[in-house]
Amino acid sequence: MASIEATEARRATAFVAPALLWVLAFFILPFAVMIGVSFARLEGRTVVYGLSFDNYLRFFSDPSLFKGLTISLEITAVVTVISVLLAYPLAWIIAMRVPARYQRLALMLAVLPFWTSYVVRSYAWLLVLGQNGVINKALLALGAIAEPLELASTRSATIVGFVHFFVMLLTLTIYSNLIQLSPNYARAAADLGASAFGTFRHVILPLTLPGVVTGAFLTFVLCIGDYITPQILGGNNELTLPQLIMLQLGRRGDFPMASAMSIILMGVVTLAYFASARWLKLDRV
Amino acid sequence: MNRLTTTAIVSLSTLAMMQAANAEEINALVWCDHADPALIEPFTAATGITVNLKEYEGTAAGLAILDQSQPGDWDVLVIDAVDVGRAVDLGLLAELPADKLRNGEFFPEVVMAENNSRDGKTYAVTEKFGYNTIAFNKSKVDPADMEDMATLTSGKYDGRIAIYDYYLPVLGEMSLAAGVNTADMTPDTLAALKEPLFALRKASKSVGDVVASQTALATGEVDILVGGGEWLTAVLHAENPDLDWTIPKQGAVRWAQSLAVLEASEKKEAALQFVDYITSPEGQARLATSSCYWGMPANAKTGDVLTPEQKTVLRWDQQPEYLAKTQLYPVPDAALDQAMQDLWTEMLQN
């Protein structure tokens, strides 16, 4: 008996070992190295290894650097809220109003922009929002404005670019939740006298909340760590945390500072995860 | 399979194996203009040497890559001419055989022996240069206004200006406008640039890298680019001849890039062949008109290879005047570099 158990344990270990090694080699070790480097210092142009908190102290005391974190959080919060508000009705229409045989086609159309390159998509928005872009030309032609609006190279442009991308992601996660709901829930609520809005508020929404929060969390993680969209659409008029990290790497060659800022960014993402997990009570799932 | 076919297959296989055995590769750490296949392929075709390219931006990033590489990983380095001394100090560069270099064919001002040599030994050779100055759309702004830096913050062009996102040339240009030579910049003189820099930022619509700056100027998003020059407008000339540049009365900053062989290279002969090709008139013409960005070739004999149209775009005939009117990039020590980057980051966040 003991021999069978031992064999089973060895087999289980063998099955899990590749995944563990993968995580160890490509996440734990690089992460440990990054933590180690974050405690080094750049003296002149030389990296001095040691246990220094200078980089962390500098980040929180230098307004130009700390502002990057607040800008990132502000943009991410706005993007997440707008994306959820747009994606939920879209997913609901696809799941509840589009006939089953057309749902796959509707989903494909909804996520069609995923098929283009992220960078190309951002540049395309620049051409839409630009001084001579589609929107300004249309508004000028209609006589709605006398001078072109400042749409590109702004925080709003960055938010538009992000929302365009994340609405697709959220639509998928919310749709996958909605489609699993049995229509009997809504019927039962109606039988018990609930209005359409009451059914949505007290039955549908709570049941689809895991999908919403999962999508919102993914949006948060991807948005707060993104470098390309604010770089292209924001016009460098304000720098997000990832842009500041790139500045440390690409321009200063300050790997310790970049590592410290990356650890701080990971800390923020970890906090967001725990906030979502606690709210969702994932430990009970 | 008949005997003739078998013989042909064996011969071709043997030839392929011999070519593979003779094939040599060098690894080059370069700027994006070297990544143009039109520049590299003729060299490989002529010599059989394959050039593996890695692009980088900014000397600090390049030195960091070298620091993290194994000795011998890299054979050739393209580096900002003003930073050659830093690489020499670090013992990274190999001495080049002066008698085999083409410096005698160069524009005298860009031989830059004070940068490329140390104690009579040559460690790098200038390959390309140009200007960070003011680029503009002459159909949208008065070209006469562009002759004076002060016009940019006068209010006349508010919201129509972009700033090239590279602190060295722009701060150098602003220093010249403040009457301080680029070579004399210090953290103290830098402090005086904060107010005009922030005023310029306030008048500007965006701060962008090469692609963003080019896009902004090409799409009419802005009409003026501070820090721009022929390197930015030349590739757009065919589609928009109104994009132009000038050097204001305060002067402008001259950039130059150098090519060096790394001391740790185990393929110095092949690397030197590459240096000779790049500095030859043919290589220079291709480098000068690279699809990434144009610039003036250091070798004056390139004029025999460039087309008349290319020479017009590069303003070949005006070079003596331009060379006299411009100064090299500032060469900051670590403290000044830190102060310049801090000021630049503060400007970006305000």
**What average pLDDT does this structure show over B219-236?**
91
For chain B, the farthest-separated pair of C-alpha atoms sits apart, in whole angstroms, at 85
- At A237, the pLDDT band (50, 70, 90 cuts) reads confident
More confident residue, B14 or B335: B335
Compare all CA atoms of chain B with the CA of A45 and give the residue at the minimum distance.
Answer: B334
Average pLDDT over residues A47-58: 94
Axis crossing angle, helix B194-203 with helix B167-177, rounded to the nearest 10: 110
- Out of A44, A65, A130, the one facing B221 most closely (by C-beta) is A130
Chain A residues in contact with B345 by the CB 8 A cut-off are: 64-65, 239, 244, 247
**Mean per-residue pLDDT of chain B:** 91
Query: Quick one: pLDDT at residue A281?
Result: 46
Q: Does residue B17 carry a pLDDT above 70?
A: no
pTM above threshold 0.95: no
pLDDT number for residue B15? 45
Contact call for residues B58 and B66 (beta carbons, < 8 A):
no
Q: What is the pLDDT of residue A89?
A: 95
Residue contact A64–B342, C-beta within 8 A:
yes
Q: Are B118 and B71 spatial neighbours (Cβ–Cβ below 8 Å)? A: no
Q: What is the pLDDT of residues B46-58, one digit of tens each?
A: 999 999 999 998 8
The answer, yes or no, to whether residue B43 has pLDDT greater than 90, is yes
Are B207 and A235 in contact (CB < 8 Å)? yes
Q: What is the mean pLDDT of chain A?
A: 90
Which residues touch A143 (CB under 8 Å, ≥6 apart)? none
What does the pLDDT read at residue B20?
A: 47
Distance of residue A251 Cα from the nearest chain B Cα, in angstroms = 6
> What mean pLDDT is predicted for residues A173-185?
90
A227 Cβ under 8 Å from any chain B Cβ: no
Nearest residue to B219 via CA among B101, B137, B322, B275: B137
pLDDT digits (tens, 9 = 90+) for B206-216: 898 888 888 88
B57 at interface of A, judged by CB pairs closer than 8 A = yes
What average pLDDT does the segment A9-35 reach? 93
Contacts of A67 in chain B (CB under 8 A): 349
Q: What angle do CA B238, B240, B245 make, to 5 degrees?
A: 100
Question: At B112, phi and psi to the nearest 5?
Answer: 50, 55
The predicted pLDDT at position B110 comes to 94
- Pick the residue of B345, B346, B347 with the most A CBs within 10 A to test the interface with A by mutation: B345
Once rounded to an integer, what is the mean pLDDT over residues A95-117?
87
Mean pLDDT lowest among B7-11, B90-94, B168-172, B200-204 = B7-11
Which residue shows structure tokens 């670019």? A161
Q: Is the pLDDT of residue A278 over 70?
A: no
Worst-scoring range by mean pLDDT, A14-18, A170-174, B330-334?
Answer: B330-334
Distance CA B161, CA B157 (A): 7
- What count of Cα atoms within 13 Å lies in the side-chain half-sphere of residue B5? 2
- Separation CA B64–CA B84 (nearest Å): 15
Task: Decide: A193 and A112 in contact? Cβ < 8 Å.
Answer: no
In single-letter form, the type of residue at position B69 comes to S
B123 CA: distance to closest CA in chain A (Å): 21
Confidence check: pLDDT of A30 > 70: yes
* Mean pLDDT, range A104-127, rounded to an integer: 86
Residue A131 pLDDT: 82
What pLDDT band is residue B79 in, cutting at 50, 70 and 90?
very high
| Chain B interface includes A148 (CB < 8 A) | no
Taking only residues 39 to 78 of chain A, the set having a beta carbon closer than 8 angstroms to any beta carbon of chain B reads 44-45, 47, 63-65, 67-68
| Residues of B with Cβ-Cβ distance to A68 under 8 angstroms | 349
Statement: residue B7 has pLDDT above 70: no
Residue ranges with strand state E in A21-137: 41-43, 46-48
pLDDT for B5 equals 55
For B229-272, write each residue's pLDDT tens digit.
988 898 888 889 999 899 999 999 999 999 999 999 999 999 99
Q: What angle do CA A21, A26, A30 make, to 5 degrees?
A: 120
Instruction: Establish if A180 touches chain B: CB-CB under 8 angstroms.
Output: no
* B61, B208, B341 ranked by CB distance to A236: nearest: B208
Considering only CB atoms, B165 lies closest to which of A132, A153, A236, namely A236
- Chain B closest-CA separation from residue A37 CA (Å): 13
- Of all helices (H) and strands (E), which one includes residue A283? none
**Taking residues B279-308, what's their average pLDDT?**
96
B142 within 8 A of B188, measured Cβ to Cβ: no
Mean pLDDT to the nearest integer, A138-155: 91
Q: How confident is the model at residue B76 (pLDDT cuts 50, 70, 90)?
A: very high
Q: Which residue has the tokens 């100055």?
A: B133
**Is the per-residue pLDDT at A279 higher than 80?**
no
Could you give the CA distance from residue B217 to residue B211 in angstroms, rounded to a whole number?
10
